[in-house]
Amino acid sequence: MAHLHVDGDALVVEIEGLDKLWALKSSLTIPLANIRGATADPGMIKSPKGIRVPGTHIPGVITAGTFQLDGERVFWDVHDAAKAVVIELADERYSRLVIEVDDPRATVDLVESHITRA
């Protein structure tokens, strides 16, 4: 699971617990200007993941880390698909982040409200 907050002009994604180990990351910092949008998308977990570079994928348990598909890198940290949020990015290492959060709707609102102002 991840926790998100806005710090100045950046979105900070902090990976929690053992997910740091599975995802091989503890945090990501993304300039708000590089965020295209965010959506709650539980169906995203069913999409092809691609090649792990590096990452962990145990179907039905966890998808975490960096995956490459069709020339795009996607960062995943999801156990429970019902809590998945997809954040679309531009001009970043990743084309999108797919992360599990406590409250998907509140997270989408947080991201959308700050990118509207950015």
Sorted by where each starts, the structural domains of the chain and their CATH numbers stand as 2-117 (2.30.29)
SS3 39: strand
SS3 106: helix
Q: What is the largest CA-CA distance in the chain?
A: 38
What tens digit of pLDDT does each residue of 82-107 get?
A: 999 999 999 999 999 999 999 999 99
What tens digit of pLDDT does each residue of 14-53 get?
A: 999 999 999 999 999 999 999 999 999 999 888 889 999 9
- Tell me the β-bridge partners of 28: 13
Q: In what side-by-side order are the strands of the sheet with 96-100?
A: 35-40, 84-89, 96-100, 72-78, 62-69, 51-58
In the predicted model, is pLDDT for residue 117 greater than 90?
A: no
